[in-house]
Amino acid sequence: HAYTYGYALEQLRHGNVDKFLLTFYGSLAYGMTRDTYSAVEVTRITEGFNEDTLPHTYSNTQQLRMLRMMLVKEEAGELWLAPGTPRAWLDTREGFAVRNAPTNYGTISYRVSPEPASRLVKMSIETSAGTAPSKVRVRLAANLGRLESATINGKAANVDHDTVVFDGSMLRGNLEITAHYK
């Protein structure tokens, strides 16, 4: 698992979120000790014990990096929000939140609140001052159907498959995104 970060990130880059998540969850299930919740370099699965490499900071770091890439990713001057989140996270009204995530563009917090009965997903974004990315891509892949349209602060926004895309200069202060599914 310490060496699969590049594979996982490449899957995420190509939109293969299910393969990314399989790698992430697989690293947590197989590559963690049962008692210390620390990643290991070598596991003897047939004997049920780990080599004496604990804690293995490189493996731990890669798992944390994959978790961050699920929620916030910067690449090629763009900011991606929720690029690797599981669809199941948008199946209930509970949703999920990210608070005070440091990025190249300032600190960002967001909350995703699904409304399955209305076939909507709402997202509130709060940012601190920072440089603007060229684009912001918000992946809101829900099991509610096809993402048909979206608004940002009440104005129509661009939709590309399961992603709301907008100019990075809009990323100031607070934003409210509403995604409509068909």
Give the phi and the psi of residue 117 in degrees, each rounded to 5: -60, -30
User: Given a cut of 80, is residue 38 above it in pLDDT?
Assistant: no
- The CA dihedral of 67, 182, 171, 84, to the nearest 10 degrees, is 10
Q: Which two tokens stand for residue 178?
A: 């509403």
Segment 92-117 shows an average pLDDT of 92
Residue 12 DSSP one-character state = H
pLDDT in tens, 22-31: 888 887 777 6
- B/e letters for 136-158, b = 16+ CB within 10 Å, e = fewer, are bbbbbbbebeebeebebeeeebe
Q: What is the reported pLDDT for 135? A: 96
pLDDT in tens, 160-171: 999 999 999 999
Question: Which residues touch 89 (CB under 8 Å, ≥6 apart)?
Answer: 95, 96, 112
Q: What is the reported pLDDT for 43? A: 67
Q: Which residue has the higher pLDDT, 57 or 142?
A: 142
| Confidence label for 150 from pLDDT (cuts 50, 70 and 90) | very high
Q: Cis omega before residue 55 (within 30°)?
A: yes
Question: Which residues touch 144 (CB under 8 Å, ≥6 apart)?
Answer: 90, 114, 116, 119, 121, 181
Q: Which residue has the higher pLDDT, 61 or 143?
A: 143
Segment 122-147 shows an average pLDDT of 92
Q: What is the reported pLDDT for 168? A: 94
Q: Which of 83, 80, 88 is nearest to 105 (CA)?
A: 80
| Confidence label for 154 from pLDDT (cuts 50, 70 and 90) | very high
